[in-house]
Amino acid sequence: MMGLKRYLLLVVLFGTMGEANAKILLPQILSSNMVLQRDKPLNIWGFGAVGELVTVSFGVQVKQTTTDANGKWKVVLSPLKTSAVPAAMTIKGSNTIVLDNILVGEVWLCSGQSNMEYAMRKIAKVKKPLKERLGYPADELEKANNPQIRIFLVNRKQLSKPDSIHKSWSVAQDSALKNFSAAGYFFAKELHEKLNVPVGMISSAVSGSAIEPWIPKDSLENVETGYFKDQKVGNDPGKFYTPMIEPLTPFALSGFLWYQGETNCFLKENISYSYKMKALINSWRTAWKIGSSDQNADLPFYYVQIAPFNYSTTKGKVALDQQTEPEFWEAQTQLLRMPNTGMVVTTDLNDYPDDLHPNYKWEIGRRLALWALANDYNKKLSYSGPIYKSVSFKGATAELEFEHSGKGLTSIDGKALDCFTIAGADGKFVPANAVIKGNKIIVSAKGLKNPAAVRFGFNEAMRPNLYNKDGLPALPFRTDNPLTKQFKPI
């Protein structure tokens, strides 16, 4: 929750401004060109002189309220149906504010570090991708002209201040789109194409940020499992949550997108990251439930597996090896056990393993959209690559079963399955033979009579060829994953 000192500061600021200027003010997130979330109650709020009568009109709805003793006011609009017809909202007090070109559709928030912040202007400058089947929309910024996609780029220094010009939302084109999240834009584009409804994207990301600054400090201190009890959590918890997330919480959303982890992977984190991410997911869901009167406590949370990178060759405070990143992937994977979550697999989305900011952001956005389309919009489609489910050891073989096999398992390049290793009770892993049998994979190794564990893609340098027939890659795993018992999702 908002700290007492910060709350009192805002009260004094907004109260003084309201009384001195004798006019109502709005937060940055409410402006012309915005998209309002359909089918949910909608908060419209702001600031003014104490005791001022405020009237909000939108469509056939007219709502009135009076500012409180702190100069704050809020009305709640009844849920709205989808509308691609631009409309105006009028807010009247001692002054009149008119917000125009407003649509009603789906609104999503994307956040994280540099790979989420990665701007559209960079798309045309990247090397031509090696995987032609994934496309290369180098001219997307030039040709983008869809007035039904709107974008809001969070300004860390401005978001918590009242707005006087009401132009913070923009149509997704030209200079506004140039600096917007590429992954966020391509997610919105895919959603609009498949749903034919207006889409609003809010981007709040900071390059190089760890996960802790995006989590309210008290959420880490009070994480349900007590994992961080009596621990001092570093990396400035709450540093970005307070100025860049909290002011958005009254604004109704459909869900969240998250692309972050590289900074924490450099610190060789695993289970601790799982619990930090759990705290982030729960705290954001709770904040929106309270802030926007959303009765759904489990807003969708879809996130991106950090892309393959040569962490083992970097020199930093912590020594890393070729298993550092796969172990971090395991930590990310644990969050799939929480309700309404999904992860995009990226093992095939980095052509150059020394590039911490790989291209293919268009494919990242598309794969994120697949999760949303299937799970939130009832589209019948394959939205995930194969995910390890269980193993049965039978004699000299291991039989693996998978979820999300789709139309069947396949080798994307037509060659024998690769990147499988197998071990006996001694824990010594050797290269394995893997063969598809229906929706199972049979794994064995010459000379190994009693296998006890299987690993797949468990090395930062591996680029596995196991996919489902819908073209989505399998998630790396190890059957002897220790986090399965260590992490408690509920």
Q: What is the pLDDT of residues 315-345, one digit of tens each?
A: 988 999 999 999 999 999 999 999 999 999 9
Confidence band for 280, pLDDT divided at 50, 70 and 90: very high
Global pTM reads 0.94
Residue 401 binned pLDDT confidence (cut-offs 50, 70, 90): very high
Q: What is the pLDDT of residue 293?
A: 72
Q: How far apart are CA 49 and CA 241, in angstroms?
A: 28
Residue indicated by tokens 């009765």: 295
pLDDT at position 220, please? 86
pLDDT band for position 223 (cuts 50, 70, 90): low
Whether the pLDDT of residue 225 is over 70: the answer is no
pLDDT given at position 21? 52
Mean pLDDT score across all residues of the chain: 93
- Position 13 scores a pLDDT of 47
Question: Which pLDDT score, from 0 to 100, does residue 201 have?
Answer: 98
Average pLDDT, integer, range 175-180: 96
229-250 pLDDT tens trace:
878 899 999 999 999 999 999 9
Nearest of 69, 114, 3, 139 to residue 364 by alpha carbon: 114
pLDDT at residue 291 in the model: 85
The predicted pLDDT at position 292 comes to 82
Q: Using one digit for the tens of pLDDT, what is the confidence trace for 355-376? A: 999 999 999 999 999 999 999 9
The reported pLDDT for the residue numbered 246 is: 97
Who's near 63: CB < 8 A, 6+ residues apart? 44, 55, 56, 57, 75, 76, 77
Nearest residue to 67 via CA among 47, 40, 97: 47
pLDDT value for 18? 37
pLDDT beyond 90 at 2? no
Q: Give the list of residues 6+ apart from residue 227 with CB closer than 8 angstroms, or none.
A: 272, 275
- Would you say residue 455 has pLDDT above 80? yes
What pLDDT does residue 389 have? 96
pLDDT given for residue 16 in this prediction: 42
Q: What value does the mean pLDDT take over residues 279-296?
A: 87
The answer to whether 382 and 406 are in contact (CB under 8 A) is yes
> Which among 458, 479, 187 is positioned nearest to 344, based on CA atoms?
187
Task: Find tokens 């790989």 and name the residue.
Answer: 358
Tens-digit pLDDT profile for residues 38-85: 999 999 999 999 999 999 999 999 999 999 999 999 999 999 999 999
CA distance 109 to 249: 11
80-95 in b/e form (b: 16+ CB < 10 A) is: beebeeeeebebebee
State percent of the chain over pLDDT 70. Answer: 94
| Average pLDDT value for residue range 107-131 | 94
**How confident is the model over 288-298, as pLDDT tens digits?**
998 887 666 79
- What mean pLDDT do residues 417-427 have? 96
